[in-house]
Chains A and B, each alone.
Chain A
């Protein structure tokens, strides 16, 4: 019945222009921070100014005397549960006893204007009994009393397969190394923000700059003690997210929702920049310890890996970050014997959480630095060593999962290597001031939520036909800059055979579709695409039946393609609008829903064996850098980025994702450097936290490789996160190649590079 979706492609694969571009270039798009609601009042966070301690008193008397003061809200005002933990119930909405980081929420001030709300929030006097704070993984591991929670372990995951001891005993060489990676701040240009309006139903309507409306719905329902259907969450146009608006908006919206219920007024909150960077999540810093066994021929036989993550004060999404980094710890290589441990430790820093890549960039730094170090130890070049061990169709991942199709790892490696022409370059003349280096890094990124999140890995769409032939689509994931609206338009157009211009996408709201899980894990194209196909299967037969009546020909002959309805023989045809008008007048069904969830995954969490994810995206980044040996400054000149995306839905969008991902990767690896002093962020603005400028980015050559994924819509896989994952590792490998010293940390600060160069002079 449904046309062969893999063979005919009219709109899929086209570089359709972004459907939301016009409003954005004219400034007409109203982001959350631009929106006002009648009768709106404002709130500001009241938070801990110490990293660790217990609250002895909270005094709001001075605040209450201030002009503009409306309400001070704290833990005792919560009607439901004082709990906003995403996975583990370890995070109160408002701390009432213990505070665990500078920024830990204690209350909320509501006032008549935003500036006053923030000023009054500073007048809440809180006294504490201070406890000995913990900022590092080392200290978190070693203390025997004064734990941050029941103990200091936030979560742990492992992958144990084969026999590592025997394999090491039989290996020709064993190579060990240790690495560290630092935090990264999302620095979405629009800060965290929401507006909550109380409803007559006793519920609330939330409009937010956010990624995961259904997370917010759940959190607000729990805190207010009201059912999900009284919590309406709509995403406003969102000025960047990158994971930073995955879990964090849940707590922010829950606090503001409480304020709206208590004051019976619409309440807006927009974080100031310093608050945003101090209060909200970052990329987890990792300590990575690798031990790899290899034969003299260059075959990897065993790996023992220990990953340690700084989880910050609450576990938030640490468990899933830890899971992903564990199952991806050896990258897209065949390693028959592994013992991988990934452990996340609580500290008194802001909770670290979701950031594009979700533990994968850190793991990639470990396995890809290791590949270079091992290759050097056994006298192979880094390209050949990778080629020898890379995962191919029918090989098994470290979790023992056999990958049968859409395994483009080798293609990405070969294509980027050939494009860079590194193989034909003579070893750079590295005698002068500026040294050149090349570095390769790969990733195999598990699409969607994997075994750890399988229970919520389903997504919905709702498709409405209007009698004039226009179409409205509601979906459960979101547009946050990545181009979701555009690819959803393309996929709907393809599925129905109608022009993209007929299609309008609704803002994402919990009102329109069922819980579709979070807009994370590069899952929009796969989940929404498959749900659209499912919706087509539901509605297309009805449309064709109507068309056969309208055009007076057999239903099986009806073809809807290129925005035309025909009998396939050219005898008769009509426009899609004529057909829908007929359908409406003849009482045909004009609306359907679609649903898709990921295939069942057979995975054993006890030993980490089995199907970790149902599908993998593969990528190779090959970076060329120049290192100034007088200053230690690193300039990334070019990155050749080859991505196996299954099928490219929108090549221009893919390019945009990859160029942006690489730019963020350059930031993480080179320019950005988050600094704390006793739990207080020092680099709290853009003159000290250095995002790459137009002058800092490299040239990028995007190479799209299409190895269709049978489980993906039209064969497509995710691209959002693979775009950033290998960049940092490729740059580190290139710098190591340039200066002849092992770069074992991120960021690669000039000071660190100069130290390495000094070491090589001493050798």
Chain B
């Protein structure tokens, strides 16, 4: 393995141009890539360590939109007051994210680029309409997260391109994150979801639910939300949930269980709403 450590964006871009077509991996926190090496899976030929790149490890607010640098760690997001106040789903997800030691290294950018169907940050990022700033030697572009994540471990990153920042806007008055794991801490989600809602004159005016671990990517339960807003009964809401998700059996749970639990939890949440 070759190990490269660019100290600036131009240097990184130069490396990415040069290594275009070669087997490289971008190393941010390294908390996902390194365990793969320990378990005997193939490491890339080249690791490009971007952790020391300046300028992408801050959190800021401008015009009601929050920008998070791709290299911000999960622990920094967890402790950030702005995020606790404005983006509660992200804050909650970071609370339940692995243990302190991993949170100190893992980055939001890495979590997004891993594109795990069970990634705990993702439902919140979808809910808050995350836009991802990507740069390469040829310029920069912005992509909504749902266009960026294409499937398990698959993203729209082009060769030579990297994710540098995430821009978020919370369109909801209220939002919350829920995670179900098989133990209380240090668990990979069996299911997770982020729910956002606004209330006007004691009734729900706006509702969105983003669910993880129930399909190859995060799914927006649009049918379910429409059905609820149209004041349909529980059976049709449940049917609409079932239509939007494609869970699988894995070592943690069966598809059947995921289906039922997601339905149980969402119906339970919706019942608590006014109206």
Contact = CB atoms under 8 A, between A and B. Distances in A.
Q: Do chains A and B touch in the complex (CB under 8 A)?
A: yes
A690 B261 contact: no
B42 interface: no
B226 to A, nearest CB: 23
B183 A754 contact: no
A751 B253 contact: yes
B264 A631 contact: yes
Contacts of B253: 750-751
A631 B180 contact: yes
Q: Which of B39, B182, B254, B268 has the most CB of A within 10 A?
A: B182
A750 B251 CA distance: 13
Q: Which of A671, A682, A751 has the most CB of B within 10 A?
A: A751
A169 B254 CA distance: 45
Given A630-B268, A675-B251, A754-B257, A695 B182 contact: no
A687 B190 CA distance: 13
Contacts of B261: 630-632, 750, 754
B4 interface: no
Contacts of B186: 687, 690, 693
B257 A690 contact: no
Given A675-B251, A687-B188, A693-B185, A633 B260 contact: no
Nearest to A686: B186
A394 B184 CA distance: 46
Contacts of A630: 261, 264-265, 268
Nearest to B263: A630
Contact of B182 (A274, A433, A682, A750): A750
Interface in B245-263: 251-254, 257, 260-261
Nearest to A667: B183
Nearest to A633: B180
A332 B182 CA distance: 34
Given A751-B257, A754-B260, A693 B265 contact: no
A688 interface: yes
Interface in B167-218: 180, 182-188, 190
B257 A696 contact: no
Instruction: Classify chain A's interface size.
Output: 20 to 34
A364 B264 CA distance: 34
Contact of A671 (B180, B182, B260): B182
A433 B267 CA distance: 12
A683 B188 CA distance: 13
A189 interface: no
A336 interface: no
B183 A671 contact: yes
Contacts of B264: 630-631
A299 to B, nearest CB: 42
Interface in A373-416: none
Interface string A680-708: 00110101101011111000000000000
Contacts of B268: 433, 630
Nearest to A677: B251
Contact of A693 (B183, B188, B252): B183
A220 B117 CA distance: 50
A433 to B, nearest CB: 7
Contacts of A433: 268
A748 to B, nearest CB: 12
A166 to B, nearest CB: 47
Contacts of B180: 631, 633, 750
Contacts of B183: 671, 690, 692-693, 695-696
B184 A695 contact: yes
A631 B180 CA distance: 8
A668 to B, nearest CB: 13
B251 A695 contact: no
Nearest to A755: B257
Contact of A696 (B185, B254, B260): B185
A685 B35 CA distance: 11
B187 A682 contact: no
The binding surface of chain B is classed by DSSP as loop
Interface string A656-679: 000000000000000101010000
A695 B39 contact: no
B97 to A, nearest CB: 13
Interface in B41-86: none
Nearest to B180: A631
Contacts of A635: 184
Contacts of A749: 182
A696 B182 CA distance: 10
B208 to A, nearest CB: 21
Nearest to A693: B185
Interface string A296-319: 000000000000000000000000
Interface string A420-454: 00000000000001000000000000000000000
Given A433-B268, A630-B264, A631-B180, A690 B187 contact: yes
A749 B261 CA distance: 13
B211 to A, nearest CB: 14
Nearest to B184: A695
Given A695-B185, A750-B182, A683 B251 contact: yes
Q: Which of B39, B180, B184 has the most CB of A within 10 A?
A: B184
Nearest to A682: B251
Contact of B184 (A683, A688, A693, A750): A693
Interface in B15-42: 39
B106 to A, nearest CB: 14
A690 B39 contact: no
Given A690-B187, A751-B254, A754-B260, A685 B182 contact: no
A631 B268 CA distance: 11
A433 B264 CA distance: 10
A433 B185 CA distance: 21
Nearest to B265: A630
Contacts of A683: 251
A144 B256 CA distance: 37
Q: Which of A631, A749, A750 has the most CB of B within 10 A?
A: A631
B273 to A, nearest CB: 16
A693 B187 CA distance: 10
Interface string A715-727: 0000000000000
Contacts of B265: 630-631
A749 B183 CA distance: 11
A111 B188 CA distance: 37
Contacts of A274: 39
A754 B263 CA distance: 13
Contacts of A675: 251
A694 B182 CA distance: 14
B111 to A, nearest CB: 16
Contacts of A693: 183-186
A696 B187 CA distance: 11
A633 B257 CA distance: 12
B204 to A, nearest CB: 21
A671 B184 CA distance: 9
A617 B150 CA distance: 60
25 contacts: A274-B39, A630-B264, A630-B265, A631-B264, A632-B261, A671-B182, A675-B251, A685-B39, A687-B188, A690-B186, A693-B186, A694-B185, A695-B183, A695-B184, A695-B185, A696-B185, A750-B182, A750-B190, A750-B253, A750-B257, A750-B261, A751-B253, A751-B257, A754-B260, A754-B261
Given A631-B261, A683-B251, A690-B187, 9 more contacts: A274-B39, A630-B261, A671-B183, A682-B251, A688-B252, A690-B186, A694-B185, A696-B183, A750-B257
- Top-9 shortest CB links A-B: A695-B184, A630-B264, A695-B185, A693-B185, A751-B257, A671-B183, A690-B183, A696-B184, A696-B183
Interface of B: 39, 180, 182-188, 190, 251-254, 257, 260-261, 264-265, 268
